[in-house]
Amino acid sequence: MSDSSSNPADSGPGSHGQFAETRWSMVLAARRGGDSSRAGDALAKLCQAYWYPLYAFVRRQGHAPHDAQDLTQEFFARLLEKNWLADVDRAKGRFRSFLLAALKHFLANEWDKSKALKRGGGIHNFISLDAESAESRYAMEPADAVTADKLYERRWALTLLDTTLARLRAEFVADGKAKQFDELKFTLTGGRGETPYSELAAKFGMSEGAVKVSVHRLRQRYREVLRAQIAETVATAAEVEEELRHLFAALS
C-alpha cells in the first residue's frame, strides 16, 4: 500500500537522519512548520495502509456495516481536512495511538454531525475502502469477548506483518525469485510440518546447507523490513523496539 518512492525499507531506523524522513516523522515535523503538502500526502498513505483496524474497531463497537463504512470514511475526511494533529502529544507520538485516540474522539463527539452531513451528501471518500473486503474480513474475526481496543491492536499488528510480507515478496519478485519466497515464507512464521529443507534443496537445485543459509538471510531481511515498517509509524528510533514488543504482545 505504500508507494515505491518512499520505501520504508530504504529509510529505516538505523540513523536519526534517515529516521527523520519516515512518513509519521514527516507528519509530526509539519506540525512544527515543515512541508505541510508532503506531510499531508504521507498521512494519507499511512491512513490508506491502516484503515481496516479502525473499521474493525467501529464494527466491534456495535455499528452496522453500512454505518461503519460511513463513519470510517467521514473520520478520515475530518482527519485529513482538520488540524487534528493538535492531539498527537496525548498519543505519545505513535501513529497507532494517535489514530485510535482521534477515532474515539470522533465517535464520541462528531457522530451526530456526521449523520447530518450524510443526509446532506457530505460524506467524502478520502480513503479508498473496499467495503466488501472489509466486511468479509470482519466476518472472520473471532466471535468472542475481545474488546474493540484489543481487536484494534491485534488487527494493527497483523496489518504490519501482512505489509511486511508483501514488501519482502516484492523484493524477491524483483530479483526473479518469487517461487523461492513462496516456498520459504513458512519459515518466517515458525511453521512446522511444511516442506523439509532436503526437499526444497532438490527443488531449487541447491545443497541443504545453501537452503539453510537462504532461510537465515530471509529471516534477517524480514526483521529489517518489519522494523522499517514500524519506524514509519513512530516518532523516534528509540520507540521501534518498544513498538515491536507491543506488536507481539497484541498477538499473544
pLDDT of residue 140: 72
The string of pLDDT tens digits covering residues 109-167 is 866 655 555 544 444 555 666 666 777 777 777 766 689 999 999 999 999 999 999 99
Residue 53 has pLDDT above 90, yes or no: yes
Q: Are 95 and 234 in contact (CB under 8 A)?
A: yes
Residue-by-residue DSSP string for 129-154: --HHHHHHHHHTS--SS--HHHHHHH
Burial of 57: CB neighbours in 10 Å, binned 0-12, 13-18, 19+ = buried
pTM of the model: 0.77
pLDDT of residue 172: 95
Domain locations in the chain? Answer: 4-251
Query: Per-residue pLDDT tens for 181-235?
Result: 998 998 887 655 567 888 888 988 899 999 999 999 999 999 999 999 999 998 8
Closest CA to 251 of 137, 159, 177: 159
The answer to whether the CB of 24 falls within 8 A of the CB of 234 is: yes
The residue-averaged pLDDT of 243-247 equals 92
Specify the 3-state DSSP secondary structure of 49.
helix
How confident is the prediction for the chain on average, in pLDDT?
A: 79
Q: Give pLDDT, residue 115.
A: 59
226 to each of 9, 13, 200, 232, 247, how far by Cα in Å? Answer: 8, 11, 25, 10, 11
CB 49 within 8 A of CB 2: yes
Tell me the pLDDT tens digit for each residue of 204-214: 889 999 999 99
CA distance 154 to 158: 6
Cβ distance 29 to 19 under 8 Å?
no
So what's the pLDDT on residue 120?
42
